[in-house]
């Protein structure tokens, strides 16, 4: 008994001496172990994704390591928002040959351009910053996916990561588009739910709905934007305004366009002047116009080919408002 007491007394000072040293070394080693567990597979997935995109570009005759390969369609709008901010103006103020409708880039979500602009404060060009944001977000996406998969390499989790690499539409993960940032926001949201952490989930949801329509659609913000854009009459100008670029009007504006097209159909049916509807003052009819098919009102007003001056070098598609078959054939 006395030996036991003596040994316990002897052990106490040793323990007291070791206490301050333990947490630092333990934390460092646990961090290293965690990094070893969390990073290799996501980095390998990112490398595989990049190599696959590179191979696809090479097979398509495109130079992968160039900014031009990363920018298509709406990319020009995100870059314009990142470099000059949002703009909305009457088209005739800048382009006298255009109809008197609204133009601008207010239909595109702000999250991705905001992050791009912040990164560009380091001195990088805006388009390089946009690519950098996309690629860093992609690494983060793979890290979070691996974490959610349990961070243990098994045939199942390895195949799941491979599936994430070749996921349909994953080519957008390397493009100047907010898809990667939006996916990161959704994954942070899911991680927050897993950890039962409201801040995590809230931040993830905020990133998602500030970035992409999918996130915005999950709350009321998207609906509010849609009504606001329709109110300004921007939606029905999309097919002719430079703000549309070459193929851009997705997201909110697409919803707007359909809604206002329905509004026009209803207006014609009820005998309301189309000019009044065009001015965007008839919100009651916008709300009441559900359930009617889009009317080919804009079709006769569009020219066969057109370039959008000052906004995009890609030619606008003339029949997007009216002919879904023509529009779908472009895809």
Partner 1 sequence: MILAVVVWRVVNRDLEPWEIAAVLLAAGVLAMPFVTGAETSWYRNHALAVVAVPVLRKAPFWLLLPLVLRCAEQYLFLGAMWYGGSLV
Compute the least distance from the CB of residue 329 to partner 1, in Å.
10
CA dihedral 306, 307, 312, 314 (to 10 degrees): 70
Contact letters for partner 1, residues 126-165 (x by CB under 8 A): ---------------x---x--xxx----xxx-xx-xxx-
Q: DSSP of 197-260, one letter per residue? A: -HHHHHHHHHHHHHH-HHHHHTSSHHHHHHHHHHHTT-GGGTTTSGGGTTT---THHHHHHHHH
- Residue 3 burial (CB < 10 Å; 0-12/13-18/19+)? exposed
Q: Does 293 bind partner 1 (CB under 8 A)?
A: no
Q: Does 179 bind partner 1 (CB under 8 A)?
A: yes
Contact letters for partner 1, residues 229-258 (x by CB under 8 A): ------------------x-xxx--xx-xx
* CB nearer to partner 1: pick between 102 and 173: 173
Q: Does 14 bind partner 1 (CB under 8 A)?
A: no
Q: Does 86 bind partner 1 (CB under 8 A)?
A: no
Q: DSSP of 50-108, one letter per residue? A: HHHHHHHHHHTT--SSSSTTT--TTHHHHHHHHHH---EEEHHHH-TTS-S-EEESTTS
Binding site for partner 1 (CB under 8 A): 52-53, 56-57, 59-62, 69, 72-73, 141, 145, 148-150, 155-157, 159-160, 162-164, 166-173, 175, 177, 179, 182-183, 186-187, 189-191, 193-194, 212-214, 217-218, 247, 249-251, 254-255, 257-258, 314, 320, 324, 327-328, 330-331
């Amino acid at each position: 008994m006395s030996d036991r007491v003596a040994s316990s007394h002897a052990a106490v000072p040793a323990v007291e001496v070791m206490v301050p040293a333990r947490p630092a070394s333990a934390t460092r080693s646990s961090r290293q172990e965690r990094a070893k567990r969390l990073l290799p597979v996501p980095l390998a997935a990112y490398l595989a994704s990049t190599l696959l995109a590179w191979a696809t570009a090479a097979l398509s005759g495109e130079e992968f390591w160039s900014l031009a390969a990363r920018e298509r369609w709406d990319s020009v709008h995100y870059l314009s928002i990142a470099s000059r901010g949002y703009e909305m103006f009457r088209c005739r103020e800048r382009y006298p040959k255009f109809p008197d409708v609204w133009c601008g880039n207010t239909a595109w979500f702000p999250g991705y351009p905001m992050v791009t602009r912040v990164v560009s404060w380091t001195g990088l060009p805006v388009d390089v910053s946009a690519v950098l944001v996309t690629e860093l977000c992609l690494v983060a996406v793979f890290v979070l996916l691996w974490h959610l998969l349990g961070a243990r390499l098994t045939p199942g989790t390895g195949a799941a990561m491979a599936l994430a690499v070749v996921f349909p539409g994953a080519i957008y993960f390397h493009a100047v588009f907010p898809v990667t940032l939006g996916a990161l926001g959704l994954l942070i949201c899911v991680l927050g739910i897993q950890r039962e952490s409201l801040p995590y989930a809230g931040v993830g949801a905020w990133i998602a709905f500030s970035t992409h329509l999918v996130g915005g659609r999950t709350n009321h913000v998207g609906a509010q934007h849609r009504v606001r854009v329709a109110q300004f009459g921007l939606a029905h100008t999309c097919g002719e305004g430079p703000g549309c670029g070459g193929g851009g009007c997705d997201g909110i504006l697409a919803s707007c366009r359909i809604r206002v097209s329905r509004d026009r159909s209803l207006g014609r049916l009820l005998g309301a002047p189309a000019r009044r509807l065009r001015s965007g003052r008839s919100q009651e009819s916008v709300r009441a116009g559900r359930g009617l098919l889009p009317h080919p009102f804009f079709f006769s007003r569009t020219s066969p080919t057109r370039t959008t001056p000052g906004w995009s070098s890609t030619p606008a598609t003339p029949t997007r408002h009216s002919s879904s078959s023509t529009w779908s054939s472009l895809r």
